[in-house]
Amino acid sequence: MLRIAVPNKGSLSGPAADMLHEAGYQQRRESKELRIVDPANEVEFFYLRPRDIAIYVSTGRLDIGITGRDLLIDSGAGAEEILPLGFARSTFRYATKPGTASGVQDLNGKTVATSYEGIVAKHLADSGIDASVVHLDGAVETAIELGVAEVIADVVETGTSLRNAGLEVIGEPIMKSEAVVIRRTGADTEEPKVRQFLRRLQGVLVARTYVMMDYDCRAEHLEAAVAITPGLEGPTISPLHNEGWVAVRAMVPAKDAQRIMDDLYAIGARAILTTAIHACRL
Ligand SMILES: Nc1ncnc2c1ncn2[C@@H]1O[C@H](COP(=O)(O)OP(=O)(O)OP(=O)(O)O)[C@@H](O)[C@H]1O
Ligand SMILES: O=P(O)(O)OC[C@H]1O[C@H](OP(=O)(O)OP(=O)(O)O)[C@H](O)[C@@H]1O
Ligand SMILES: [Mg+2]
């Protein structure tokens, strides 16, 4: 039975459960459940605090975990990222009141409040900066107003929380994060059950980012059409009853679908259809 750690709260929890559900796994029915068994798929899910997941996975008692890249790195636990999942995307940045500092080089002697002490202490040390770090559990943006620190280091997505607190980012992002699948460092990722789990999640990622495109075009325009829709391994070409015409089928990135339809129409393709992909194994 594969044992998998899933975030039980916060920004990661809803999207992680949605992705697992889309991948065909049973998920808990209510938020108080701490673990569930999905017998049909031979998987057991443990619902844990996102911050603790890397620590559990590093012991090897759980095979796989879903957490944030920033949380994984901050934990310093012996676990490594094996698949990025594309949700809970964020940057991790310093911020302060306008005029306090313009980059990390100005942070000598300052106090930095953060929930991610591991990341911040390492970044300051790597930058040769001597600053003190204060740990706060959350709502870090308020720390400056209330005199706990002069600078904060926190997760930034839209920047709304910073703006509301009258703060501005300084310097370059310390890191970029998103939800990731993790495994104990050095563990065998070729294990069949692990591979199957990863293939299912990859299938969801592909179904979310690609659509299927079908169209008809004149045989003499086929090369130009294939250049527009190369597909993943090459499009499927079928003859049409209509002499001199072919039907083409290829996966295309969903975000480009409308532009691709325009480009195909412009070279004479017709009956251009786009349909959603519900699941896939590449
Ligand atoms: N506003 C956000 N947008 C995108 N990702 C976010 C956001 N806030 C936190 N994250 C990501 O979620 C993970 C943090 O999860 P965690 O549950 O600890 O925090 P949270 O979502 O702030 O929830 P809470 O504060 O309720 O604990 C990190 O990987 C972080 O990058
Ligand atoms: O750039 P934004 O889109 O505003 O998102 C970033 C904010 O979201 C998270 O906070 P959360 O609401 O989880 O509260 P917390 O500080 O208590 O973790 C994070 O800690 C930032 O405060
Ligand atoms: Mg938070």
CATH code for position 252: 3.30.70.120
- Domain range for 266 is 210-276
In a domain, 151, yes or no: yes
Picking from 155, 189, 223, the residue at the C-terminal end of a domain is 189
Q: Which atom of ligand 1 is nearest to the CA of 157?
A: 3
The pTM assigned to this predicted structure is 0.93
- Work out the average pLDDT over 49-53: 98
Whether residue 97 is found in the same domain as residue 173: yes
| 157 CB near ligand 2 (under 6 Å) | yes
Whether residue 184 is found in the same domain as residue 82: yes
Whether residue 75 is found in the same domain as residue 33: yes
The pLDDT score that the predictor gives to residue 282 is: 84
Whether residue 10 is found in the same domain as residue 128: no
Pocket residues for ligand 1 (CB within 6 Å)?
9-12, 50-51, 68, 70-71, 88, 90, 138, 155, 157, 177
Whether residue 44 is found in the same domain as residue 58: yes
Picking from 129, 154, 189, the residue at the C-terminal end of a domain is 189
Whether residue 219 is found in the same domain as residue 230: yes
Whether residue 160 is found in the same domain as residue 112: yes
> What torsion do the CA atoms of 84, 85, 86, 92 make, to the nearest 10 degrees?
-60
Number of compact structural domains in the chain: 3
| 273 CB near ligand 2 (under 6 Å) | no
Whether residue 18 is found in the same domain as residue 43: yes
Whether residue 56 is found in the same domain as residue 16: yes
pLDDT tens figures, 243-259:
999 999 999 999 999 99
Average pLDDT over the chain, rounded to an integer: 97
Q: Are the CB atoms for 8 and 48 separated by under 8 Å?
A: yes
- How many Cβ atoms sit within 10 Å of the Cβ of residue 76? 13
> What torsion do the CA atoms of 218, 223, 227, 230 make, to the nearest 10 degrees?
90
- pLDDT at residue 189 greater than cutoff 90: no
Whether residue 107 is found in the same domain as residue 237: no
Q: Which atom of ligand 1 is nearest to the CA of 11?
A: 21
